[in-house]
Amino acid sequence: MGAVREGEDASVQAAFFIMPIQILKSLHDEFRTLAGADAARAVLFRIGYSSGEAVTRKINIKMNSGLTLPETLTSLWIEMGLGRIIVSEEGEGRLHVQCDGSSEAQALGHMDAPSCDLTRGYLAGTASALSHYRYHCVETECVSSGSELCLFDLVPRPEA
Amino acid sequence: MAFFIMPGHALKSLRDELEIQGGDALANDMLYRYGIRCGEGMITRMGMKCDTLEDIANTIPALWAGVGLGRITVEEIGADHIRVRFHESVESLALGRPKEPKCHFTRGYLNGMAAALSGKEFKTEEVQASEDWSETAFVLKLAGEYLKPAVEKAVVAPAAAPLKAAAPAFALERGMSYLVEDEEADKAYNIFVDEIAHGSQGLCITRDFPNKVRKQYGLAATPILWLSNAEQEYAVEPVQLGKLYHKIEDFLKKAERPIVMITGLEYLIVQNNFHSALKFLQLVRDQISIHESILLASISPSTMGDKDLKLIEREMEPLKPGGA
């Protein structure tokens, strides 16, 4: 972690910029129009995943004996601006995430199904960068479709 | 409005995904539009305003430092433009230092900030600032006043509703907002054109293509805002209710005997959500009262639930089809 990836300038890796959360609705709408609902979800997940990985790499938080993966993920998430999370371990590396005040859900307004795809990707990318697993993330409940909290399951896929 | 953070290289991921879906030109346009929304969102959040180009030039560099996309310095302030030079552009670095203007997200972000600070339209271009393109500059130029109020010299009456010379055919009261409930927007157009033919200065906000509206209703000079995602001077994205509100407010300040028409409210509701659209209408209605103007908004009642329609009717005076 922390190494500059091939072909990428060190200052790009060090850089963060800010976006208003309302942009997330535009991203969803435009990708859905362009590519259809399923492809849009996949695209936003990928962008979120690479962003989560990059932010974690830059902040250079590493797992150590003092903090568990859920604790590290929770503390790192505070910096992201995507909502507040509580992470619990479910065994075999699986994590359960409760997100209160999801920025993405707020931006999207009412949707028919769980739709926090960028957040889902961000969580998976962050958890992957913090661990030796490659995580996938599924949103099981979402504020935008009527739930009180957004709930995510992070499932590890052991690296080949 | 809150903010979230993205790493610099997300700009490359975003561009790559957009290019895969729609090609280079579409990626450029969309990144530019995203940038505009971000810039406007930031200023809206801060509630800042600037009166002159000099004020804008003094304000933007300090704000920009907090955005995280690089450093800028102001090189020039002209009568109608500001030129800023970019150092360590994150977008350029993320894209591998292209030797052509490629920082469309940054260009939009700056444009959105300048437009939101001033309430005026800007057009921003990226230009080469060093031989090897390691530095670029952005020229933020004041755009034409598309929304300039105008008196129509010769309105051609729509066939369905011949104009009467003596007095307006519809007795509308200034300071009022009217809801035209009809499946088609023809009635609203006819009332609007009738008011304009009798000396009001109008602003038409519609989903219909402006050239078609001009031809059909004989509106040569009346500004028409097109609710569309197209990148045109006369287009406003339907999700940009804040921007739309500011354009209406700006028009009302400048116009004499203003009348504003919004056709197809249901489209704004679908593109946003009911509560955002209702809040937008409430804000516009207040401005209409303050400026002793008239608001005409058409809606297709069959597209609305009874409860939602009632909520809109509470904000506006319903004009039923056929009633003058």
- Integer Cα distance of B202 and B225 in angstroms: 11
Neighbour-count burial of A113, counting CB atoms closer than 10 A to its CB (0-12 exposed, 13-18 middle, 19+ buried): exposed
Nearest Cα residue in chain B from A15: B8
Which is nearest to A48 in space by CA: A116, A94, A146?
A116
- Integer Cα distance of A70 and A127 in angstroms: 9
Verify whether the Cβ–Cβ distance B1 to A22 is below 8 Å: yes
**Helix, strand, coil % in chain A, rounded to nearest 5:** 45, 25, 30
Query: What pLDDT, on the 0 to 100 scale, is given for residue B161?
Result: 39
Verify whether the Cβ–Cβ distance B4 to A13 is below 8 Å: no
Verify whether the Cβ–Cβ distance B41 to A23 is below 8 Å: yes
Query: What pLDDT, on the 0 to 100 scale, is given for residue B165?
Result: 55
> How does B198-237 read in b/e, with b if 16+ C-beta sit within 10 Å?
bebbbbbbbbbebeebbeebbbeebbbbbbbbeeeeeebb
Verify whether the Cβ–Cβ distance A23 to B33 is below 8 Å: no
Listed in sequence order, the DSSP H helices in chain A are 10-14, 23-35, 37-59, 69-77, 103-108, 117-130
β-bridge partners, B30? none
Which residues in chain A touch residue B13, judged by CB atoms under 8 angstroms apart? 46-47, 50-51
Q: Answer yes or no: are the C-beta atoms of A14 and A58 closer than 8 Å.
A: yes
- Integer Cα distance of A39 and A31 in angstroms: 8
- Integer Cα distance of A43 and A40 in angstroms: 5
Cβ partners under 8 Å of residue B201, min gap 6: B149, B150, B151, B222, B255, B256, B257, B258, B259
* Phi and psi angles of residue B219, each rounded to the nearest 5 degrees, phi first: -95, 95
The bridge status of strand B258-262 relative to strand B294-299 is parallel
The alpha carbon of residue A37 and the mean position of all alpha carbons in its chain are separated, in whole angstroms, by: 19
* Phi and psi angles of residue B290, each rounded to the nearest 5 degrees, phi first: -60, -40
Structure tokens belonging to residue B296: 């005409």
The ranges of chain B with pLDDT < 70 are 1, 144-147, 153-167, 320-324
Enter the CATH code of domain B10-142.
3.30.1380.20
The bridge status of strand B224-227 relative to strand B201-206 is parallel
Listed in sequence order, the DSSP H helices in B6-95 are 10-46, 53-67, 90-94
- Integer Cα distance of B186 and B180 in angstroms: 10
Query: What pLDDT, on the 0 to 100 scale, is given for residue A55?
Result: 87
Tell me if chain A has a CB within 8 Å of the CB of B87: no
Structure tokens belonging to residue B102: 């490629």
pLDDT band at residue A9 under the 50/70/90 scheme = low
In the chain, the amino acid numbered B255 is A
Q: Residue B118: count other Cβ atoms within 10 Å of its Cβ.
A: 20
Determine, yes or no, domain membership for A5: no
The superfamily in CATH containing domain B176-319 is P-loop containing nucleotide triphosphate hydrolases (3.40.50.300)
Which residues in chain B touch residue A15, judged by CB atoms under 8 angstroms apart? 7-8, 68-69, 90, 93
Q: Which of B1, B3, B4 to probe the A interface (max A CBs under 10 A)?
A: B4
Query: What pLDDT, on the 0 to 100 scale, is given for residue B120?
Result: 83
Query: What pLDDT, on the 0 to 100 scale, is given for residue A105?
Result: 94
Q: Which of B1, B16, B17 to probe the A interface (max A CBs under 10 A)?
A: B17
Determine, yes or no, domain membership for A99: yes
- Our count of domains for chain A comes to 1
Residue B129 is classified by DSSP as -
Domains B10-142 and B176-319 share a fold: no
Verify whether the Cβ–Cβ distance A103 to B30 is below 8 Å: no
Verify whether the Cβ–Cβ distance A31 to B21 is below 8 Å: yes
Nearest Cα residue in chain B from A101: B2
Determine, yes or no, domain membership for A66: yes
Nearest to A9 among B3, B93, B239 (CB): B93
Q: Answer yes or no: are the C-beta atoms of B159 and B115 closer than 8 Å.
A: no
* Phi and psi angles of residue B150, each rounded to the nearest 5 degrees, phi first: -145, 150
Residue B157 is classified by DSSP as P
Q: What is the pTM of this model?
A: 0.68
> What is the domain-level CATH number for residue A149?
3.30.1380.20
Which residues in chain B touch residue A8, judged by CB atoms under 8 angstroms apart? 9
Average pLDDT over residues A78-107: 92
Verify whether the Cβ–Cβ distance B7 to A55 is below 8 Å: yes
Verify whether the Cβ–Cβ distance B37 to A29 is below 8 Å: no
Query: What pLDDT, on the 0 to 100 scale, is given for residue B155?
Result: 59
Q: What is the mean pLDDT of chain A?
A: 85
Q: Answer yes or no: are the C-beta atoms of B7 and A118 closer than 8 Å.
A: no
Which residues in chain B touch residue A21, judged by CB atoms under 8 angstroms apart? 1-4
pLDDT tens readout for residues A97-140: 999 999 999 999 888 899 999 999 999 999 999 988 899 999 99
Nearest to A58 among B7, B93, B94 (CB): B7
Task: Write a three-state SS string for B177-193.
Answer: EEEEECCCCHHHHHHHH
Residue B115 is classified by DSSP as H
pLDDT tens readout for residues B251-269: 898 899 999 999 989 999 9
Nearest Cα residue in chain B from A35: B21
Residue B173 is classified by DSSP as P
Verify whether the Cβ–Cβ distance A47 to B21 is below 8 Å: no
Q: B127: distance to nearest CA of chain A, Å?
A: 21
- Integer Cα distance of B23 and B15 in angstroms: 10
Structure tokens belonging to residue B215: 């031809």
- Integer Cα distance of B112 and B109 in angstroms: 5
Q: A31: distance to nearest CA of chain B, Å?
A: 8
Determine, yes or no, domain membership for A3: no
Nearest to B68 among A16, A25, A35 (CB): A16
pLDDT band at residue A1 under the 50/70/90 scheme = very low
Query: What pLDDT, on the 0 to 100 scale, is given for residue A92?
Result: 86
Which is nearest to B55 in space by CA: B37, B43, B38?
B43
- Name residue, tokens 């209702």: B278
Structure tokens belonging to residue A123: 């969580």
> How does B164-175 read in b/e, with b if 16+ C-beta sit within 10 Å?
eeeebbbebeee
The alpha carbon of residue B28 and the mean position of all alpha carbons in its chain are separated, in whole angstroms, by: 19
Verify whether the Cβ–Cβ distance B93 to A29 is below 8 Å: no
Q: A55: distance to nearest CA of chain B, Å?
A: 6
Helix axes of B10-46 and A37-59: crossing angle, nearest 10 degrees = 90
Q: Answer yes or no: are the C-beta atoms of B223 and B146 closer than 8 Å.
A: yes
Nearest Cα residue in chain A from B17: A43
Ordered by start, the domain boundaries in chain B are 10-142, 176-319
Average pLDDT over residues A7-35: 77
